[in-house]
Amino acid sequence: MTDTNQTETDPFAWFQRWMTEAEASEPSDPNAMTVVTVAADGRPSARTILLKGVDPRGFVFYTNTQSRKGNELAANNLVFLLFYWKSLGRQIRVEGRVEPVTTAEADAYYASRPRISRLGAWASDQSRPLSERAELERRLAHFEEKYPGEDIPRPPHWSGYRVLPERFEFWRNMPFRLHDRTIFERAPDGGWTSGKLFP
């Protein structure tokens, strides 16, 4: 494992380097991230989901848009991401706003999912009360019968979000808790300014 070049000026390049190293060492789901949303009443909510895409525009994840997170993002598009790789002694915090992915992006990713996952997007009323597990299994069986082949349309309530970063923090574990913290903040010209924080 190599440390990130401390002169790196592009936070996305820094992120990609750390993600590549995590993919080589983490035992499962190196792309797991905690997503924090805030409801209209100011109540925060966090859950761990999987990052499905990243490029210079931002970070992409997919979900049921009628789920709790979807409803909260509709009310307040501010979002916070946290990547934590304990074995590497690293974490990345990302603050920004979300925008919906395009229909073409959502369709393409949905089509790439296993068949049972695509059917599950129809069967699950995500975040709503479930009387018993058997209810979900009945709903899944219904959609298996309705869509017996591979041609399963994307549900209208299932899509993706792109997090447009406004701030990054790269944290490295250091001896005696004298950790290294590097921040990047979006500049008015669209570039990035960087600096350090006390641990």
Hey, where are the domains in the chain? 11-114+154-197
Total-model pTM:
0.92
Angle CA 11–15–21, to nearest 5: 150
Judge contact between 68 and 127, C-beta under 8 A. Answer: yes
Work out the mean pLDDT of the chain and round it to a whole number. 94
Question: Is pLDDT at 3 greater than 90 in this prediction?
Answer: no
Query: How is domain 11-114+154-197 classified at the architecture level of CATH?
Result: Roll (2.30)
pLDDT band at 8 (very low <50, low <70, confident <90, very high): confident
Judge contact between 196 and 182, C-beta under 8 A. Answer: yes
DSSP class of residue 170 equals E
Q: Which of 198, 199, 194 is nearest to 12 (CA)?
A: 194
Residues recognised as catalytic = 177
Question: What is the four-CA torsion angle of 134, 135, 139, 142, rounded to 10 degrees?
Answer: 60
- What is the tens place of the pLDDT at every residue in 34-70? 999 999 999 999 999 999 999 999 999 999 999 999 9
- What is the tens place of the pLDDT at every residue in 101-122? 999 999 999 999 999 999 999 9
Round to whole Å and give the CA distance between 104 and 192: 30
Mean pLDDT (whole number) for 70-80: 96
In order of 26, 111, 112, the CA distances from 151 in angstroms are 35, 9, 12
